[in-house]
Homo-oligomer: A and B are copies of this chain.
Amino acid sequence: MTTVSIKEVAARAGVSPGTVSNVLNRPAKVAAATRERVEEAIRELGFVRHGSASTLRAGHSRTLGLSVIDIGNPFFTDVAAGIEDAASERGYAVILGNSAGSRAKEERNLRVLAEQRVRGVLIIPTDEDLSRLDRLREHGISVVLVDHPAHRPDQCAVAVDDVAGGRTAVAHLLARGASGVAYVTGPLTIRQCLERRQGALAALEAAGLGPDRLRVAEMAAMNARAGEKAAGDLLAAGLPDAVFCANDLLALGVLRALLQAGVRVPDDVMLMGYDDIEFAAASAVSLSSMRQPTHQLGRIATELVLDECENPETHAHQHIMFQPELVARESTR
Protein backbone atom coordinates (compact mmCIF):
# COMPACT_ATOMS: atom_id res chain seq x y z
CA MET A 1 0.00 0.00 0.00
CA THR A 2 2.91 2.33 0.59
CA THR A 3 3.85 3.76 -2.74
CA VAL A 4 7.57 4.41 -3.06
CA SER A 5 8.57 7.49 -4.99
CA ILE A 6 11.58 8.60 -6.91
CA LYS A 7 12.69 10.60 -3.87
CA GLU A 8 13.12 7.58 -1.68
CA VAL A 9 15.02 5.83 -4.42
CA ALA A 10 17.25 8.88 -4.65
CA ALA A 11 17.85 8.93 -0.91
CA ARG A 12 18.69 5.25 -0.88
CA ALA A 13 21.15 5.58 -3.74
CA GLY A 14 22.60 8.78 -2.36
CA VAL A 15 21.76 10.88 -5.40
CA SER A 16 19.24 13.56 -6.30
CA PRO A 17 15.77 12.82 -7.70
CA GLY A 18 16.82 14.33 -10.99
CA THR A 19 19.48 11.71 -11.41
CA VAL A 20 17.02 8.92 -10.82
CA SER A 21 14.82 10.43 -13.48
CA ASN A 22 17.78 10.44 -15.82
CA VAL A 23 18.51 6.80 -15.12
CA LEU A 24 14.91 6.09 -16.03
CA ASN A 25 14.72 8.20 -19.16
CA ARG A 26 18.22 8.76 -20.53
CA PRO A 27 20.46 6.14 -18.97
CA ALA A 28 23.33 7.19 -21.22
CA LYS A 29 23.54 10.54 -19.47
CA VAL A 30 24.61 9.08 -16.16
CA ALA A 31 27.88 7.43 -15.13
CA ALA A 32 27.84 3.66 -15.07
CA ALA A 33 28.62 3.37 -11.36
CA THR A 34 25.87 5.75 -10.31
CA ARG A 35 23.43 4.15 -12.66
CA GLU A 36 24.00 0.78 -11.12
CA ARG A 37 23.57 2.10 -7.64
CA VAL A 38 20.27 3.66 -8.64
CA GLU A 39 19.06 0.54 -10.41
CA GLU A 40 19.94 -1.44 -7.33
CA ALA A 41 17.88 0.90 -5.17
CA ILE A 42 14.97 0.67 -7.58
CA ARG A 43 15.02 -3.10 -7.35
CA GLU A 44 15.37 -3.17 -3.59
CA LEU A 45 12.53 -0.76 -2.98
CA GLY A 46 10.29 -2.19 -5.66
CA PHE A 47 9.87 1.23 -7.18
CA VAL A 48 7.49 1.59 -10.09
CA ARG A 49 7.24 4.90 -11.85
CA HIS A 50 4.02 6.85 -11.43
CA GLY A 51 2.75 7.14 -14.97
CA SER A 52 0.37 9.99 -14.22
CA ALA A 53 2.99 12.19 -12.65
CA SER A 54 5.21 11.48 -15.59
CA THR A 55 2.46 12.28 -18.06
CA LEU A 56 1.51 15.44 -16.26
CA ARG A 57 4.99 16.86 -16.24
CA ALA A 58 6.22 15.54 -19.58
CA GLY A 59 3.06 16.62 -21.35
CA HIS A 60 2.35 13.30 -22.98
CA SER A 61 1.53 9.77 -21.94
CA ARG A 62 2.62 6.36 -23.11
CA THR A 63 -0.84 5.16 -23.93
CA LEU A 64 -2.77 4.83 -27.17
CA GLY A 65 -6.51 4.86 -27.55
CA LEU A 66 -8.33 2.37 -29.72
CA SER A 67 -11.95 2.61 -30.76
CA VAL A 68 -13.44 -0.34 -32.62
CA ILE A 69 -16.88 -0.87 -34.07
CA ASP A 70 -17.58 -4.33 -32.80
CA ILE A 71 -15.26 -6.20 -30.55
CA GLY A 72 -17.25 -9.35 -31.19
CA ASN A 73 -16.33 -9.48 -34.85
CA PRO A 74 -13.14 -11.50 -35.45
CA PHE A 75 -12.03 -9.07 -38.12
CA PHE A 76 -11.82 -6.26 -35.61
CA THR A 77 -10.25 -8.34 -32.89
CA ASP A 78 -7.56 -9.43 -35.32
CA VAL A 79 -6.82 -5.81 -36.08
CA ALA A 80 -6.84 -5.05 -32.38
CA ALA A 81 -4.41 -7.88 -31.74
CA GLY A 82 -2.01 -6.35 -34.25
CA ILE A 83 -2.29 -2.99 -32.56
CA GLU A 84 -1.81 -4.40 -29.12
CA ASP A 85 1.25 -6.32 -30.28
CA ALA A 86 2.96 -3.34 -31.82
CA ALA A 87 2.07 -1.02 -28.97
CA SER A 88 3.19 -3.32 -26.21
CA GLU A 89 6.50 -3.92 -27.98
CA ARG A 90 7.22 -0.24 -27.61
CA GLY A 91 6.01 -0.02 -24.06
CA TYR A 92 2.73 1.65 -24.87
CA ALA A 93 -0.51 0.64 -23.21
CA VAL A 94 -3.71 0.47 -25.23
CA ILE A 95 -7.00 1.80 -23.93
CA LEU A 96 -9.82 -0.04 -25.59
CA GLY A 97 -13.18 1.42 -26.48
CA ASN A 98 -15.95 -0.55 -28.10
CA SER A 99 -18.38 1.69 -29.91
CA ALA A 100 -20.74 -1.21 -30.67
CA GLY A 101 -21.75 0.60 -33.83
CA SER A 102 -23.19 3.47 -31.84
CA ARG A 103 -22.02 6.92 -32.61
CA ALA A 104 -22.95 8.18 -29.15
CA LYS A 105 -20.89 5.49 -27.50
CA GLU A 106 -17.98 6.26 -29.78
CA GLU A 107 -18.10 9.89 -28.77
CA ARG A 108 -18.21 8.99 -25.12
CA ASN A 109 -15.19 6.80 -25.60
CA LEU A 110 -13.29 9.49 -27.42
CA ARG A 111 -14.00 11.85 -24.59
CA VAL A 112 -12.52 9.42 -22.10
CA LEU A 113 -9.48 9.06 -24.32
CA ALA A 114 -9.08 12.81 -24.44
CA GLU A 115 -9.26 13.00 -20.66
CA GLN A 116 -6.62 10.32 -20.36
CA ARG A 117 -4.42 12.41 -22.63
CA VAL A 118 -3.56 9.41 -24.77
CA ARG A 119 -0.64 10.03 -27.06
CA GLY A 120 -2.56 8.97 -30.12
CA VAL A 121 -5.84 7.46 -31.19
CA LEU A 122 -6.47 4.60 -33.58
CA ILE A 123 -10.04 4.56 -34.72
CA ILE A 124 -12.18 2.37 -36.88
CA PRO A 125 -14.94 4.91 -37.33
CA THR A 126 -18.61 4.06 -37.17
CA ASP A 127 -19.66 6.54 -39.79
CA GLU A 128 -18.47 9.12 -42.24
CA ASP A 129 -18.70 12.27 -40.16
CA LEU A 130 -15.18 12.61 -38.89
CA SER A 131 -15.27 16.19 -37.65
CA ARG A 132 -15.05 15.03 -34.04
CA LEU A 133 -11.60 13.69 -34.85
CA ASP A 134 -10.44 17.18 -35.66
CA ARG A 135 -11.32 18.20 -32.14
CA LEU A 136 -8.99 15.53 -30.81
CA ARG A 137 -6.24 16.84 -33.03
CA GLU A 138 -6.77 20.30 -31.64
CA HIS A 139 -5.89 18.83 -28.28
CA GLY A 140 -2.62 17.62 -29.72
CA ILE A 141 -3.64 13.99 -30.08
CA SER A 142 -2.54 12.24 -33.24
CA VAL A 143 -5.27 10.30 -34.97
CA VAL A 144 -4.91 7.48 -37.45
CA LEU A 145 -7.86 6.05 -39.29
CA VAL A 146 -7.94 2.28 -39.50
CA ASP A 147 -9.86 0.38 -42.16
CA HIS A 148 -11.01 3.70 -43.49
CA PRO A 149 -9.51 6.06 -46.09
CA ALA A 150 -8.30 9.46 -44.91
CA HIS A 151 -10.75 12.32 -44.81
CA ARG A 152 -8.09 14.99 -45.02
CA PRO A 153 -4.59 15.13 -46.39
CA ASP A 154 -2.76 15.97 -43.16
CA GLN A 155 -3.67 12.70 -41.55
CA CYS A 156 -2.61 9.08 -41.69
CA ALA A 157 -4.93 6.32 -42.71
CA VAL A 158 -4.57 2.61 -43.27
CA ALA A 159 -7.30 1.01 -45.30
CA VAL A 160 -8.05 -1.91 -47.56
CA ASP A 161 -9.41 -1.38 -51.03
CA ASP A 162 -13.02 -2.44 -50.72
CA VAL A 163 -13.94 -1.62 -54.27
CA ALA A 164 -11.15 -3.84 -55.52
CA GLY A 165 -12.25 -6.53 -53.07
CA GLY A 166 -15.80 -6.53 -54.36
CA ARG A 167 -14.56 -6.57 -57.93
CA THR A 168 -12.14 -9.43 -57.36
CA ALA A 169 -14.75 -11.47 -55.56
CA VAL A 170 -17.41 -11.12 -58.21
CA ALA A 171 -14.93 -11.50 -61.04
CA HIS A 172 -13.96 -14.81 -59.46
CA LEU A 173 -17.59 -15.93 -59.35
CA LEU A 174 -18.11 -14.95 -62.96
CA ALA A 175 -14.94 -16.73 -64.03
CA ARG A 176 -16.29 -19.83 -62.35
CA GLY A 177 -19.34 -19.69 -64.52
CA ALA A 178 -21.86 -17.56 -62.69
CA SER A 179 -24.03 -15.33 -64.81
CA GLY A 180 -25.80 -13.54 -61.99
CA VAL A 181 -24.94 -12.82 -58.40
CA ALA A 182 -26.86 -12.05 -55.22
CA TYR A 183 -25.14 -9.58 -52.92
CA VAL A 184 -26.03 -10.14 -49.28
CA THR A 185 -24.98 -7.10 -47.32
CA GLY A 186 -25.46 -5.04 -44.21
CA PRO A 187 -26.84 -1.51 -44.35
CA LEU A 188 -25.57 0.28 -47.45
CA THR A 189 -24.91 3.31 -45.27
CA ILE A 190 -21.83 1.41 -44.15
CA ARG A 191 -18.95 2.42 -46.35
CA GLN A 192 -17.52 -1.07 -46.66
CA CYS A 193 -20.84 -2.52 -47.81
CA LEU A 194 -21.34 0.25 -50.30
CA GLU A 195 -17.88 0.05 -51.82
CA ARG A 196 -17.89 -3.70 -52.10
CA ARG A 197 -21.13 -3.44 -54.02
CA GLN A 198 -19.57 -0.82 -56.24
CA GLY A 199 -16.72 -3.24 -56.95
CA ALA A 200 -19.18 -6.01 -57.68
CA LEU A 201 -20.93 -3.84 -60.26
CA ALA A 202 -17.61 -2.96 -61.84
CA ALA A 203 -16.81 -6.64 -62.25
CA LEU A 204 -20.12 -7.26 -63.94
CA GLU A 205 -19.58 -4.38 -66.28
CA ALA A 206 -16.11 -5.57 -67.14
CA ALA A 207 -17.67 -8.88 -68.10
CA GLY A 208 -20.19 -7.14 -70.30
CA LEU A 209 -23.06 -7.73 -67.89
CA GLY A 210 -25.56 -5.15 -66.70
CA PRO A 211 -26.16 -4.02 -63.13
CA ASP A 212 -29.42 -5.97 -63.17
CA ARG A 213 -27.35 -9.11 -62.77
CA LEU A 214 -26.61 -8.06 -59.18
CA ARG A 215 -29.52 -8.71 -56.87
CA VAL A 216 -28.96 -6.86 -53.59
CA ALA A 217 -30.27 -8.20 -50.29
CA GLU A 218 -29.72 -5.53 -47.69
CA MET A 219 -29.96 -6.80 -44.12
CA ALA A 220 -30.11 -4.78 -40.92
CA ALA A 221 -27.34 -6.72 -39.16
CA MET A 222 -24.16 -8.38 -40.32
CA ASN A 223 -24.14 -11.59 -38.32
CA ALA A 224 -24.92 -15.22 -39.01
CA ARG A 225 -28.57 -14.89 -38.10
CA ALA A 226 -29.03 -12.18 -40.69
CA GLY A 227 -27.34 -14.45 -43.21
CA GLU A 228 -29.80 -17.24 -42.51
CA LYS A 229 -32.65 -14.89 -43.03
CA ALA A 230 -31.19 -13.65 -46.29
CA ALA A 231 -30.83 -17.23 -47.51
CA GLY A 232 -34.48 -17.83 -46.73
CA ASP A 233 -35.43 -14.86 -48.88
CA LEU A 234 -33.22 -16.10 -51.71
CA LEU A 235 -34.74 -19.55 -51.55
CA ALA A 236 -38.19 -18.08 -51.74
CA ALA A 237 -37.36 -15.76 -54.61
CA GLY A 238 -35.35 -18.27 -56.63
CA LEU A 239 -31.66 -18.98 -56.26
CA PRO A 240 -29.00 -17.16 -58.25
CA ASP A 241 -25.86 -18.89 -59.55
CA ALA A 242 -23.76 -17.35 -56.84
CA VAL A 243 -24.00 -15.45 -53.59
CA PHE A 244 -21.50 -12.83 -52.49
CA CYS A 245 -21.67 -11.75 -48.85
CA ALA A 246 -20.27 -8.53 -47.47
CA ASN A 247 -18.92 -10.40 -44.49
CA ASP A 248 -18.04 -13.95 -43.44
CA LEU A 249 -20.58 -13.95 -40.63
CA LEU A 250 -23.33 -13.36 -43.14
CA ALA A 251 -21.87 -16.00 -45.42
CA LEU A 252 -21.75 -18.61 -42.68
CA GLY A 253 -25.41 -17.98 -41.99
CA VAL A 254 -26.27 -18.26 -45.66
CA LEU A 255 -24.25 -21.43 -45.95
CA ARG A 256 -25.97 -23.07 -43.06
CA ALA A 257 -29.46 -22.21 -44.27
CA LEU A 258 -28.72 -23.38 -47.80
CA LEU A 259 -27.28 -26.70 -46.70
CA GLN A 260 -30.24 -27.28 -44.44
CA ALA A 261 -32.56 -26.66 -47.36
CA GLY A 262 -30.74 -29.34 -49.30
CA VAL A 263 -28.99 -26.92 -51.62
CA ARG A 264 -25.51 -28.07 -52.57
CA VAL A 265 -22.62 -25.66 -52.30
CA PRO A 266 -20.92 -25.00 -54.64
CA ASP A 267 -22.67 -27.31 -57.10
CA ASP A 268 -26.04 -25.55 -57.01
CA VAL A 269 -24.88 -22.20 -55.70
CA MET A 270 -21.43 -20.76 -55.27
CA LEU A 271 -20.77 -18.75 -52.15
CA MET A 272 -18.25 -16.10 -51.21
CA GLY A 273 -17.63 -14.32 -47.97
CA TYR A 274 -15.42 -11.43 -47.01
CA ASP A 275 -12.75 -10.96 -44.30
CA ASP A 276 -11.47 -14.54 -44.24
CA ILE A 277 -11.97 -14.98 -40.53
CA GLU A 278 -10.59 -18.10 -38.95
CA PHE A 279 -13.96 -19.83 -39.06
CA ALA A 280 -14.29 -19.38 -42.80
CA ALA A 281 -11.83 -22.19 -43.41
CA ALA A 282 -13.34 -24.39 -40.73
CA SER A 283 -16.95 -24.45 -41.85
CA ALA A 284 -18.27 -27.69 -43.31
CA VAL A 285 -17.97 -26.42 -46.84
CA SER A 286 -14.93 -24.28 -46.49
CA LEU A 287 -15.69 -20.75 -47.46
CA SER A 288 -14.05 -18.74 -50.22
CA SER A 289 -13.38 -15.28 -49.00
CA MET A 290 -11.45 -12.06 -49.43
CA ARG A 291 -8.53 -11.96 -47.04
CA GLN A 292 -7.48 -8.66 -45.54
CA PRO A 293 -4.15 -8.19 -43.80
CA THR A 294 -5.79 -7.60 -40.44
CA HIS A 295 -2.85 -8.03 -38.16
CA GLN A 296 -0.64 -5.92 -40.37
CA LEU A 297 -3.33 -3.29 -40.67
CA GLY A 298 -3.19 -2.87 -36.92
CA ARG A 299 0.56 -3.02 -36.72
CA ILE A 300 1.19 -0.44 -39.41
CA ALA A 301 -1.45 1.90 -38.07
CA THR A 302 0.26 1.75 -34.71
CA GLU A 303 3.66 2.48 -36.18
CA LEU A 304 2.23 5.42 -38.05
CA VAL A 305 0.56 6.95 -35.06
CA LEU A 306 3.65 6.51 -32.93
CA ASP A 307 5.85 8.03 -35.59
CA GLU A 308 3.48 10.95 -35.87
CA CYS A 309 3.53 11.78 -32.20
CA GLU A 310 7.12 10.91 -31.43
CA ASN A 311 8.66 12.57 -34.48
CA PRO A 312 6.22 15.29 -35.41
CA GLU A 313 8.76 17.27 -37.40
CA THR A 314 9.99 14.49 -39.68
CA HIS A 315 6.70 12.64 -39.88
CA ALA A 316 5.16 12.33 -43.30
CA HIS A 317 1.46 11.59 -43.38
CA GLN A 318 0.62 8.47 -45.30
CA HIS A 319 -2.48 7.07 -46.87
CA ILE A 320 -1.89 3.37 -47.10
CA MET A 321 -4.23 1.21 -49.11
CA PHE A 322 -3.81 -2.53 -48.96
CA GLN A 323 -5.21 -4.84 -51.57
CA PRO A 324 -7.35 -7.71 -50.36
CA GLU A 325 -6.50 -11.18 -51.52
CA LEU A 326 -8.79 -13.81 -52.96
CA VAL A 327 -8.83 -17.07 -51.03
CA ALA A 328 -10.63 -19.68 -53.11
CA ARG A 329 -11.93 -22.68 -51.21
CA GLU A 330 -14.57 -25.34 -51.66
CA SER A 331 -17.53 -23.01 -51.73
CA THR A 332 -16.58 -21.73 -55.18
CA ARG A 333 -14.89 -24.80 -56.57
Contacts and interface: CB of A to CB of B under 8 A. Distances in A.
Interface residues of A, number: 62
Contacts of A46: 135, 138
A93 B113 contact: yes
B279 A224 contact: yes
Given A77-B71, A283-B256, A285-B284, A116 B97 contact: no
B253 A282 contact: yes
Contact of A112 (B77, B88, B135, B224): B88
Interface string A274-291: 000011011111100000
| Majority DSSP secondary structure for residues of A touching B | helix
Interface stretch (A7-15, A52-60, A188-196, A239-247): A52-60
Interface in A137-195: 138-140
Interface string A70-91: 0110100110110011001001
Given A48-B114, A252-B282, A80 B71 contact: yes
A111 interface: yes
Given A93-B113, A95-B96, A113-B93, A81 B88 contact: no
Given A96-B95, A253-B282, A256-B284, A52 B55 contact: yes
Contacts of A51: 52, 115-117
Contacts of A50: 56, 115, 117
B52 A56 contact: yes
B72 A282 contact: no
A81 B94 contact: no
A99 to B, nearest CB: 10
A315 to B, nearest CB: 15
Contact of A115 (B48, B105, B227, B282): B48
A93 B116 contact: yes
Interface string A229-252: 000000000000000000001001
Given A84-B97, A256-B282, A72 B77 contact: yes
B256 A279 contact: no
A259 B281 contact: no
Contacts of A108: 88
A61 interface: yes
A72 B66 CA distance: 16
3 closest A-B pairs by CB = A284-B284, A52-B55, A52-B52
Interface of A: 1, 3, 46, 48-53, 55-56, 61, 63, 66, 71-72, 74, 77-78, 80-81, 84-85, 88, 91, 93-98, 105, 108-109, 111-117, 135, 138-140, 223-224, 227, 249, 252-253, 255-256, 259, 278-279, 281-286
